[in-house]
Amino acid sequence: MNFFKKYKQQIYFHLLLNLIVAFCITLSSYYHIPLSSFKDYSIYFIHFLLLQFSFFGILYFLSINKYVFYFGFSILFISLSLLGFYKYSLDLSVTKSMVEAIFETSLLVSVDLVSIPFLIYLFSVGLMLYFIFKKYKNVKVNQLKSPLIVLAVLGIATYYIIESKRHNTFDSRLPYVAFNSVVEFFEEDDLQLLPINSDVNTSVKDINFVFILGESVRADHLQLNGYNRETNPKLSKRENIISYSDLYTPLTHTVASVKQLLTNQSVDDIVKSNEVYSLFSVLNAAEYKTSWIGNSTIVKSYAPIIRSNQEVKLIDKFRSIMSFNKALDEDMLAPFDSILKICENQFITLHMTGSHWYYENRYSDEFRKYTPVTDSKHIPSLEPQQIINSYDNTLVYLDHFIDTVISSVEKTQTKSIVMYVSDHGEILGEEGKWLHAQESEFSKNPAMIVWYSDELLSAYPEAIKAVKENQHKRVSADFFYHSILDLFQVQNFDYDKNKSVFKEDYY
């Protein structure tokens, strides 16, 4: 009892401090997660408690020295609370792009920051800070010698234990995501793009190539490949469509697979080199106009490759794949249409958010063909069929998306090709696993769809004949880089024609 009396003020202060920090900062990362059952809520509540406990450890050490606390905590609390405000109101994820924008002070403009609710929030944060400091003065014990320090060490240990068991459990949420984004901002890019000789050329200067880079779409859920559901109602009615059934990649994580697809790196390379040729650099040298339109956050591992496009347009660089508000891929269609009209020898990439979990956020209501769908982010509490229904609905939406792109390209009446390739597949309950980026054969067969115009067929009949004939062969994801360079007949530059699906003897 004496013990409690002695440390009463200190315990009371830290409880209050953590309660305020939880409401302004940590809880915001949980606010938008769709959950349905009592069990879901309980699991995420425990998740939140552990995260808050780990942050308590940091706050405790900060509070040992009063000067460090007044200065350090003020900066931390105000900046993290502002990020909490974005998270609550707009579900914006903190990313390197956001840190960049803060440093460039463009954030104020781009997210329309100054509003009445924001000013009220800012005022409340100031009041709470004043209140915290007032209570802090009442803590009379030596915090360094208080037994509470053991709890603080335990809190920090919790962070390391949980992150080592499952990376990003805490790191993808506030406050940790903010610290990591700042670190990432100051880090150098690992990837070095090799320069291209100026004598690189091409004899084919009249192809309009539209590349749709997909996300998490597995080949066997396409109606075009014999799936028993109508996931391709539009494309299956089209002429000049080819669907590859046996594309293979062992790289089931976007970070690795996108980098490999867009460079000379092979899926078989055991040691992944960080000095690569970007496909876009080669195309630029061959006088193709390269443009990138993205609806997906740029990841550091392949950012320099994206930047090697002549034009880069991101739909919303502050919205990441982790956000729960809908960022539909259709948002890319208007910028795509305006770029498409410019010229003929061009290579346009559309980078989709595609079928990345959480599936319900990836398509609009009119494509909800299969029900019941998922109503919670907590996978174990869902019926497998709910998840598969939601996933298949994203494919019906994809079918519509690709069909719309083809319609636009068709109207140009140019020698055009639309090629869709997903970065990897997805596991849908096989072996008790879900999603991707974990070991399973089911995520290694991504979807690939090709459409060509009649004009292209007349001009390059042999290439089209080959791309049709190869559709059921086992094709390694290495094909992409080499096939494009082969189709464009790039000269004075080394690549492997044997890996081109536009050659009949593809092995």
Min. distance of Cβ 254 from Zn ion in angstroms? 3
Of 304 and 354, which CB lies nearer to Zn ion in the complex structure?
A: 354
Min. distance of Cβ 296 from Zn ion in angstroms? 9
By the criterion CB under 5 A, which residues form the site for Zn ion?
Answer: 215, 254, 423
Of 218 and 482, which CB lies nearer to Zn ion in the complex structure?
A: 218
What's the alpha-carbon Rg for the chain, to the nearest Å? Answer: 26
Of 320 and 500, which CB lies nearer to Zn ion in the complex structure?
A: 320
Tokens encoding 167: 């990376």
d(CA 82, CA 24): 8
Of 173 and 218, which CB lies nearer to Zn ion in the complex structure?
A: 218
Q: Return the SS3 of 492.
A: coil
Which helix (DSSP H) or strand (DSSP E) does residue 159 occupy?
A: helix 148-165
d(CA 230, CA 318): 34
d(CA 189, CA 436): 25
Residues 484 and 285 sit within 8 Å (Cβ to Cβ): no
Min. distance of Cβ 397 from Zn ion in angstroms? 17
> Which residue, 496, 402, 417, 412, is CA-closest to 460?
417
Min. distance of Cβ 435 from Zn ion in angstroms? 10
Of 87 and 218, which CB lies nearer to Zn ion in the complex structure?
A: 218
Tokens encoding 28: 């915001």
Tokens encoding 12: 């009371």
Please list, residue by residue across 454-472, b when 16 or more beta carbons sit within 10 angstroms of its beta carbon and e when fewer do.
Answer: ebbeeebeebbebbeebbe
Of 243 and 254, which CB lies nearer to Zn ion in the complex structure?
A: 254
Of 357 and 488, which CB lies nearer to Zn ion in the complex structure?
A: 357
Min. distance of Cβ 437 from Zn ion in angstroms? 8
Min. distance of Cβ 216 from Zn ion in angstroms? 5
d(CA 287, CA 447): 29
Min. distance of Cβ 426 from Zn ion in angstroms? 9
Cα separations (Å) of 31 from 181, 311, 411? 21, 36, 45
- Point out the residue whose Cβ comes nearest to Zn ion: 254
Q: Return the SS3 of 209.
A: strand
